[in-house]
Amino acid sequence: MRRRSVLAAAGAGAAALLVGGTRAEAATLSSTASAKAAAVSGGDVPWASASLRSLADRVGLRIGSALYPQDIETASWAAIAGSQFSVVTPANGMKWQIVEPAQGTYDWSQADELVNFAHKNNQLIRGHCLIWHNQLPTWLTTGVANGSITKAQLMDLAHQHITTEVSRYKGKIWQWDVCNEFFTDSNPSQLDPNNWWIVNAGPEIIPNAFKWAHAADPNALLFFNDYNIGGEDGTNAKFNAVYSYVQQLLSAGVPIHGVGIQGHLDTQYGWSPTPLRQDMEKFASLGLKVAITEADVRTFVNNPTAQVPTDNLALFAHPYEYEEMLKAALAVPECISFTVWGWTDANSWVPGSFSGEGYADIYDVNQQPKAAYYALQSELGLASNGAPYRVKSYTPRS
Ligand code: G3I
């Protein structure tokens, strides 16, 4: 892997003002950049050829990626997926639509392929995701729509689905995303009354899902996972709603162990890292683990194939936003993993979902590491060489 001056990585911080940071933040970043420059001599860094996972291991953080079958089945891709990451998430392979395409007929091939890959590469697994309104099997959505599956039967089917899947992989999954994306993006935010599960099964589906998953694998860490809950919306409205809700779950004795902050950013909106860190600290103050579960940073590009950013400022904002998300993760000891949602632009959900956007990942369309990769490597290199990032910045709990 080519070597890179730490100065280049630190320069990404200069984008703070350009992407919505305050002057004070820019000043802090600029002094951070100087400190980094002083930390090495000669322009090269001692961790220049170290993998992300080897550096992250040294500071007690798991670094991960979502994986698609292509990541495992293409030898050159698998070499990167296996060597850079210490935790992997099936991008689609454990979703209900994939594992039970016809009622009672299971297809575990994608999920098993990922579990075997992870085992071979000494990686942990984030199971994703048990209850979500999206990627449900057609037999289920059709049955509910035409009334052949009643509310009570839907709850039974969800119970059966969770028990079957979690039991199958019992002891092999580190963290399960039990419930995914249940809150509105409005201000104030709330449990979405139009969510497919809330409409058809009722809000009890959420505590029930956690209880069923816990019964099937008592050692798995059970997460609630959502987007816009790390201050991305500028108001923290969704964070506030999720925070109150998980507090209620905990008070009711529901076995929830963590909150997953997805971390899908877009350079066009501007972003400040401070709320992300504060929100993670607040979740941690409830006694929960936290994780960044789906980090990526999209921007406008020339076309979906080459994915060259059309705005030069994005070239600064992209690595800066990755780097700052990782720094927040490093600063909160209860944050146990930092996962990118796919590692290469060659296989990204972004161009298909956001017209005109792409360049969201840390490797380019030719599987070459981008500035964002080196920004993450640099932060992990500094942290693993003693930079005081992984410290408590709030009053310890009793
Ligand atoms: O496998 C079929 C293929 O046979 C077919 O030819 C093709 C035609 O469109 O579709 C393929 O399925 C696609 C599937 O990804 C596998 O690539 C679906 O259309 C496509 O909708 C699906 O998108 C997934 C998306 O969730 C669905 O909402 C993305 O891969 C996946 O990365 C994305 O992941 C979600 C997380 O689970 C939750 N958080 C947001 C995140 C990004 O949307």
pLDDT in tens, 253-273: 999 999 999 999 999 998 999
Place of tokens 């070459």: 368
Give the Å distance between the CA of 183 and the centre of ligand 1.
21
Mean pLDDT computed over 154-170: 98
Residue ID of nearest Cα to ligand 1 atom 36: 91
Cα(108) to ligand 1 centroid in Å equals 17
Percent pLDDT > 70 in the chain is 86
Rounded average pLDDT over 230-257: 96
**Nearest to 19, CA basis, from 293, 315, 235:** 315
Residue nearest to atom 9 of ligand 1 (CA): 352
Angstrom distance (rounded) from CA 301 to CA 288? 38
pLDDT band at 391 (very low <50, low <70, confident <90, very high): low
- Give residue 44's pLDDT: 77
Ligand 1 center–CA 132 separation, angstroms: 13
- C-alpha 62 – ligand 1 centre gap (Å): 25
pLDDT > 50? residue 374: yes
* Whole-angstrom distance, CA of residue 326 vs CA of residue 123: 19
Please state the pTM of the whole predicted model.
0.89
Q: Whose CA is nearest to atom 15 of ligand 1?
A: 92
pLDDT in tens, 43-91: 578 898 999 999 999 999 999 999 999 999 999 999 999 999 999 999 9
Distance between CA atoms of residues 194 and 184, nearest Å: 9
Atom index in ligand 1 nearest the CA of residue 341 equals: 32
Q: Using a 6 Å CB cutoff, which residues line ligand 1?
A: 91-92, 134-135, 180, 262, 294, 349
> Where is 225: in which H helix or E strand?
strand 221-226
User: Can you say whether the dihedral through the CA atoms of 126, 267, 329, 247 is positive or negative?
Assistant: negative
Top pLDDT among 13 and 226 is at 226
- Are the CB atoms for 348 and 24 separated by under 8 Å? no
User: What is the longest distance spanned by two Cα atoms in the chain?
Assistant: 70
Nearest CA to ligand 1 atom 13: 92
Q: Separation of 383 CA from ligand 1 center, angstroms?
A: 35
Query: What is the whole-number distance in angstroms between the Cα of residue 227 and the centre of ligand 1?
Result: 17
User: Measured from the CA of 180, which atom of ligand 1 is nearest?
Assistant: 38
The token pair that represents 96 in the structure block: 């209900």
Stretch 298-321: mean pLDDT: 96
Query: Does position 26 have pLDDT exceeding 50, yes or no?
Result: no
Ligand 1, atom 30, lies closest to the CA of 349
Cβ contacts of 194 within 8 Å, gap of 6 or more:
none
Residue to substitute in 349, 353, 361 for testing ligand 1 pocket (most ligand atoms within 8 angstroms of CB): 349
Q: Which atom of ligand 1 is nearest to the CA of 66?
A: 32
| Alpha carbons 23 and 14: distance in angstroms, whole number | 11
Centre of ligand 1 to C-alpha 92, Å, is 7
Q: What is the chain's Cα-based Rg? A: 21
191-237 pLDDT, tens digit per residue, is: 999 999 999 999 999 999 999 999 999 999 999 999 999 989 889 99
Q: What is the pLDDT of residue 233?
A: 86
- Residues forming the active site: 181, 294
Query: Which residue has a Cα nearest atom 16 of ligand 1?
Result: 92
Are 397 and 338 within 8 A, CB to CB?
A: no
CA nearest ligand 1 atom 42, residue = 349
